[in-house]
Copies of this chain bind each other. A is one copy, B any other.
Amino acid sequence: MDLSLSGSSPLPIYQQLFDQVCGQILDGRLKSGDALPPIRTVAKELSISVIPVKRAWEELEAAGFIESFVGRGCFIAPMSADKLQRLKRAMAADKLSDAAAYCKGMGLTLAEAEALLKDAWRSAEK
């Protein structure tokens, strides 16, 4: 379980943790039933207090990504591959929809937006 924090990020710690765990579930690195490390362990490894870790885990639970059990730990919630796939597409569509609305508002044409998307895709690393 690799987690890291960016001191330069404007996002709060708990948000960064949420995003990373969420990402690892969506991209398959974490699967249903996998145990998350105890919050105290994560806190110690990242040299932060338990509070932001706990908060991240809480929001993950509220979002249905994980389940927590007192005395046992936290686990990735059961989720069908199909549901995962739909979630991923929905989130991606959401981001693109935002961008599309913005470009339209700026007076760009669909063709221009597609060209920009292609450029961005190519220059995106990883």
A interface list, Cβ under 8 A from B:
7-8, 12, 23, 26-28, 62, 67, 69-70, 88-89, 91-93, 95-108, 110, 112-114, 116-121, 123-124, 126
Contacts and interface: CB of A to CB of B under 8 A. Distances in A.
Contacts of A70: 12
A65 B106 CA distance: 16
A8 B67 contact: yes
- Most chain B CB atoms below 10 A, which of A62, A70, A103: A103
Contacts of A93: 116, 119-120
Contacts of A102: 91-92, 95
B7 A67 contact: yes
